[in-house]
Structure 1
Amino acid sequence: MPGLSIIVASADGQRFYAALELAAAAAALGRSARIFLQGEAAALLRTPVAFDGDPARRAAGQPDLVSLIAEAMAMDVRLIVCQSGMALVRMTASDLVPQVRVGGLVSFLAEAGPNDQLLTY
């Protein structure tokens, strides 16, 4: 079954939330899924994780961003943060959510399977 590779290319919490939902749904169907946070999007994985939509999500009985990240990772969704993006937003590995991998766009694309779907948010 083809995997799902998603690039989050902006520091928009709603787009990242949607990418996480999609990756988790793919993982629930038995597909491999991974998300690469490029450029300024790296800041979305700075601890403590939160975004403006969290209160509305919690009020609607949905997980907030940090909970959705944990759920997705428990489903083996891999999160990779751009090394250059981290430098851009002045982050170090110690600022990241645990178990997030640091990498580059070239290695992210090199690891994609020939039949994987690639989406950008």
Structure 2
Amino acid sequence: MQPLTLVVLGPDPDRAAGAAAMAAAAAALGAETTIYLHEGAVPLATGTLFADAQALGARVILCQTGLAAAALDLSDLDPRLDSGGLVGLFAGLGNGRLVVV
């Protein structure tokens, strides 16, 4: 299965929950799966919304700008979370699928 990257653009918890469900399903099928929380979506990572997807192997990346805007320090969050930017995300896409929610 092709890798799947889901980009959550904003703070809507319903959209983020949908992204988490899609990521969990793809990861359960063996796809390399990434969820990228862009700017205003970053605070959604402070809860357990993405725990199931992470347990199945999905990677969650938090936008560096969003971390700064929310005054969050990555070291204070779940250690499975990563930080990064769009350039790095796009550089790593290869032939993977990109879904924006």
Q: Which band: TM-score by shorter chain?
A: over 0.9
Letter in 2 for 1:42: V
**Matched residue, 2:50:** 69
Unpaired segments ≥5 residues, structure 1: 50-65
Q: Provide the C-alpha distance between the structure 1 equivalents of 2:38 and 2:76, rounded to a whole number of angstroms.
A: 16
Q: Provide the C-alpha distance between the structure 2 equivalents of 1:79 and 1:4, rounded to a whole number of angstroms.
A: 12
**Native 8 Å contact 1:9 1:120 kept in 2:** yes
Letter in 2 for 1:37: L
1:107 aligns with 2:88: yes
**Matched residue, 2:30:** 30
What's the offset of the Cα at 1:32?
A: 1.1
| Mapping for residues 79-90 of structure 1, pairs under 5 Å | 79-90=60-71
**Matched residue, 1:58:** none
Structure 1 length as normaliser, TM-score?
0.78
Q: Provide the C-alpha distance between the structure 2 equivalents of 1:3 and 1:91, rounded to a whole number of angstroms.
A: 29
Q: Provide the C-alpha distance between the structure 2 equivalents of 1:14 and 1:96, rounded to a whole number of angstroms.
A: 21
What's the offset of the Cα at 1:88?
A: 1.2
CA RMSD of aligned residues (A): 1.2
How many residue pairs get aligned? The number is 101
Structure having the higher Rg: 1
Higher normalized strand content (fraction of residues): 2
Q: Provide the C-alpha distance between the structure 2 equivalents of 1:98 and 1:14, rounded to a whole number of angstroms.
A: 24
Percent identity at matched positions?
39
Unpaired segments ≥5 residues, structure 2: none
What's the offset of the Cα at 1:120?
A: 0.6
Q: Provide the C-alpha distance between the structure 1 equivalents of 2:18 and 2:77, rounded to a whole number of angstroms.
A: 20
